[in-house]
Amino acid sequence: MTRAFIALGANLGDARAVVLQAMEGLDGLAGSRVTARSSLYRSAPVDATGPDFINAVVALDTMLAPEALLAELQRLERAAGRERPYRNAPRTLDLDLLSHGEAALRTDHLTLPHPRMHERAFVLQPLAEIAPALVTAAQLDAVAGQTIERL
């Protein structure tokens, strides 16, 4: 088993319900189980427009390889009605693979660890809640100006 961390976000429709449902969907992936779930957070869009997001992070122990896990995340996004009309468009569900064990990977489809995770309060705060050793005080200070609220 490999420990992966996944960021969840949604800002269309019943975003809270969609994020909670996605957590259940992640727990139901073959050879995988959710081992920790952060609280839900509300955050303003970053580099985008639209309503506020509902965000969370989960820890997932999985037997899936990184590319296979990414494919499952994209399947769950599509099942939730995710469309990609343009970059950073509002979305019914966004699942970002933040890390997959110690994997360092760069392909056309996947970069691990996630290249922008340390720039985003909506990732760092929930991640710090469930895996405090992975987030430094300096990283949290660097995103302190971003609007985020624990629900």
Read off the pLDDT of residues 9-21 as tens digits, 9 standing for 90 and up.
999 999 999 999 9
Note if 96 is an active site residue: yes
> Which of 94, 116, 141, 150 is flagged as catalytic?
94
Q: Report the pLDDT value the prediction gives residue 37, as an integer from 0 to 100.
A: 98
Note if 52 is an active site residue: no
Q: Would you say how long the chain is, in residues?
A: 151
Cα 42 to Cα 126: distance, rounded to the nearest angstrom: 11
What's the pLDDT tens digit per position in 28-73? 999 999 999 999 999 998 877 789 999 999 999 999 999 999 999 9
pLDDT range class, residue 90, cuts 50, 70, 90: low
Q: In a 3-state reduction of DSSP, which class is residue 11?
A: coil
Higher pLDDT, 38 or 108: 38
Note if 120 is an active site residue: no
Strand ranges inside the chain, DSSP E? 2-10, 32-37, 41-43, 53-62, 94-100, 105-106, 111-112, 148-150
Cα 145 to Cα 141: distance, rounded to the nearest angstrom: 8
pLDDT winner (highest mean) among 2-11, 44-53, 104-113: 2-11
> Which of 14, 82, 87, 150 is flagged as catalytic?
82
Q: Report the pLDDT value the prediction gives residue 47, as an integer from 0 to 100.
A: 77
The full set of domains in the chain, from first to last, is 2-150 (3.30.70.560)
> Which of 96, 106, 116, 150 is flagged as catalytic?
96
> Which of 91, 106, 108, 150 is flagged as catalytic?
91
**pTM, entire model:** 0.93
